[in-house]
Amino acid sequence: MKKLFGEFKDFVSRGNVLDMAVGIIIGGAFTAIVNSLVGDIINPLINTILLGISFDSLNVTIRFPWIKWLNANVGFFQRNPIVYPTINFGTFIAAIITFLITALALFIIIKAINKAKDLATKKKVAEEAAAPTTKICPFCKSEIHIEATKCPHCTSDQPKVEPAAPAAEAPQA
């Protein structure tokens, strides 16, 4: 039993599980924001464009003739009438709008994260490319590795070269 709890503790204390838990909590809050955006802002605007027709009222009622007969002729159904079923496609349209807004927001967020990663990678590659890896031997003028202490061509001792200090950034105003 102790081994099981130890494994569970190791599993939970890994960074990925905690990151996932935070993501789920933020996702729930984000869903509430998107639902409010659709229900409180977008749907009323669309209702105004549709001349006051609400998405919630967009439905189709299926009127089976036998339901009307049952409600009129059978005692049980006279006391407890059967309600005609409805297909609420307006609510479905609102759900599609919510999904599209959520997908668009996630797309924009992921695109921004990928762009930031690309910029960081390009900056790192540029810094690595900017640092010289070779130098010229002052005696035989051959190209040698920057950290070489002896020239492999003329066997002369190379003068000690101090690595260049990174340029100080200008103060920002």
Domains of the chain, earliest start first: 2-145 (1.10.1200.120)
Give percent of the chain above pLDDT 90. Answer: 1
49-68 average pLDDT score:
79
Cβ(49)–Cβ(79) under 8 Å?
no
Q: How confident is the model at residue 51 (pLDDT cuts 50, 70, 90)?
A: confident
- Weakest mean pLDDT among 47-61, 69-83, 149-163: 69-83
- Weakest mean pLDDT among 6-10, 74-78, 155-159: 74-78
The pLDDT, as a whole number, for residue 164 is: 54
- Weakest mean pLDDT among 1-15, 55-69, 153-167: 153-167
3-state SS of 41-77 is HHHHHHHHHCCCCCHHHCCEECCCHHHHHHHHHCHHH
Give the three-class secondary structure for 26. Answer: helix
pTM for the whole thing? 0.50
Q: How confident is the model at residue 173 (pLDDT cuts 50, 70, 90)?
A: very low
Provide the mean pLDDT of the chain.
80
Please state the length of the chain. Answer: 173
Instruction: Extract the tokens encoding 24.
Output: 């789920």
Give the three-class secondary structure for 134. Answer: strand
